[in-house]
Amino acid sequence: MNEITEAIVGDTDADAALARLRLLYAVEREIHCPYIGTLLDADKAVLVEYVDLPERRGSAVMDSRAWDAMAQIINAQFTLSGIVYTVHDGRELFGSQK
């Protein structure tokens, strides 16, 4: 069964399934981490999705090492700017599944 089918029949959490698919798509599009240049692997990647204004959205995908180095800075900047964001961490989303 794929992620969506599992979510429909109740074998997995729908939000987690969608987060995994979003992360996989982002990794497939970007391929390399734009911050440290490593090849992205979904179970070690982090996707940050943000909403700046109702009509302005964005995202960034990166290696988890880059996220670990920048997380506090990004959190502080986004909080000060009132930017709402969601972090999808492959280490948590995939665990030993992948």
Q: Give the count of alpha carbons within 13 A of 85, CB side only.
A: 24
Q: Residues 2-23: what's their mean pLDDT?
A: 73
The model's confidence at residue 53, banded by pLDDT at 50, 70 and 90, is: confident
Q: Residues 71-80: what's their mean pLDDT?
A: 94
Residue-level pLDDT at 16: 87
Residue-level pLDDT at 98: 45
Q: Residues 14-35: what's their mean pLDDT?
A: 94
* pLDDT > 90: percent of the chain: 68
Q: Alpha carbon of 43 to those of 46, 87, 92: distances in Å?
A: 8, 14, 8
